[in-house]
Amino acid sequence: MAEAELQPAPPGAERYAKDRVGPEWRSLSQEEWIARHIHTFPLWGWADYTFADAEFNAWIRGVEAMLRELGPDGIEALQRKYLTATEYAAAEEIWRDPF
C-alpha cells in the first residue's frame, strides 16, 4: 500500500507502537532489530498506519519493506547472524509457539 493511502495511527497507537518495539529502534540497525525482536511479534499490524513522528514512521516503513523482502528464510539468516546460540534457541521456541 502506498504511504499516501495509509490512515493516521489511531489515538494512542503511536505510543503503544513505540513502547512495544522498545527504545532500541533508535540504536540498532533495522536488520539487527528484526533479528532480535520480530519473533516476539506474531502479528505485525503497523504497516497500515502512518505515525506523526517522521523518524519512527520511516523506521516502521523500512522494517515493513525489509520483512517483505526477507521472508522467513531471510529472517532466520539474520537471527543466525546477530543472535548467540542461546538467543537463537529462545527465538526458535517462540516461533514454534508464539501464543
Query: Would you put residue 22 in left (φ > 0), alpha (ψ -120 to 50) or beta?
Result: left
Q: Where are the domains of the chain?
A: 3-96
CA separation for the pair 94, 41 (Å, rounded): 10
Grid coordinates representing 16? Answer: 503503544
pLDDT for res 40:
87
pLDDT for res 97:
75
pLDDT for res 48:
84
- Please, where are the H alpha helices in 6-53? 13-21, 30-37
CA separation for the pair 57, 83 (Å, rounded): 26
CA separation for the pair 10, 7 (Å, rounded): 8
Grid coordinates representing 36? Answer: 532480535
pLDDT in tens, the chain (99 residues): 556 678 999 989 999 999 999 999 999 999 999 999 998 887 677 778 999 999 999 999 999 999 999 999 999 999 999 999 999 999 999 888 766
Stated pTM of the model: 0.85
CA atoms within 13 A on the CB side of 39: 22
pLDDT for res 60:
92
